[in-house]
Amino acid sequence: MKKFLFIIILSGIIIGISADPISLPQKEGHVFGNLIDEFKLVNYFLNANQKDYYKKLDTENKWKYLSTFWKIQDIDPTTECNEFQQEIIAMIKYSNKHFSHFKKGWETDMGRVYIKYGEPFEILKLSNYGEPYEIFEQQNSGHYVKLTKREYQIWKYRVPIYQTFLFIEPQQHGDLRLIYSDGEEQYGSWREWKDYLGTNFDASLLH
């Protein structure tokens, strides 16, 4: 069995995207023209109390609440353009280009993390090649699992936050799912996330 490890050290600067306005089905002052997608996007940045409050509002006040969110996040209120919103739109375009699998890239686990935190400081891309699967014991339980070889990525954020995300391809069709995070509660790890990685996984790579 051979393990190939590709390490990409990034400067933390978003590469390959522009903050220029992008054509989307927008409602004035918003990114999307429908309330469902608009909230799904803003939801990435809200805490539990804010989400609960939003759910109690009627449709008109939900739009007002989302408008207030964008205004507060505006980097430079003296300009006509909301720079923060344009950065998010650019990230949506990047996510749709690079992370789309069966659904739009900005709605995937990778897109969600990318839109909220930007380009990772470090990305580890790991692939196990050789035998198509391995048999291993599940947490000393006496039960044995056949583990199919999968590709996975580790995203590390170190400035200004210290946070790690691990994505794996569970169905081997290119859609990498978030199975581990050492950060916020809303990015909770799968209960048996280690079982998807096999006995040879080096946990020190997460640090």
pLDDT in tens, 137-153: 555 665 555 556 778 89
More confident residue, 188 or 59: 59
Pairwise CA distance, residues 111 & 104, whole Å: 9
Q: Are 32 and 107 in contact (CB under 8 A)?
A: no
- Rounded to the nearest 5 percent, the helix, strand and coil shares of the chain are 35, 20, 45
Helix H segments across 26-58? 35-42, 48-55
| DSSP tag of 171 | T
177 backbone dihedrals φ, ψ, rounded to 5°: -105, 145
pLDDT tens sequence across 39-74? 999 999 999 999 999 999 999 999 999 999 999 999
The answer as to whether 19 is a domain residue is no
- Distance from C-alpha of 194 to C-alpha of 97, rounded to nearest angstrom: 29
- Domain assignment of residue 80, yes or no: yes
Q: Is residue 65 part of a domain?
A: yes
Residue 74 lies in a domain: yes
Q: Residue 165 sits in which domain range?
A: 2-14+24-206
More confident residue, 154 or 14: 154
What is the number of structural domains in the chain?
1
Does some domain include residue 198?
A: yes
Q: What is d(CA 155, CA 175) in angstroms, rounded to the nearest whole number?
A: 15
Q: What CA–CA distance (Å, rounded) separates 61 from 30?
A: 14
Q: pLDDT tens digit string along 156-185?
A: 999 888 999 999 987 766 789 999 999 655
pLDDT for the residue numbered 155: 96
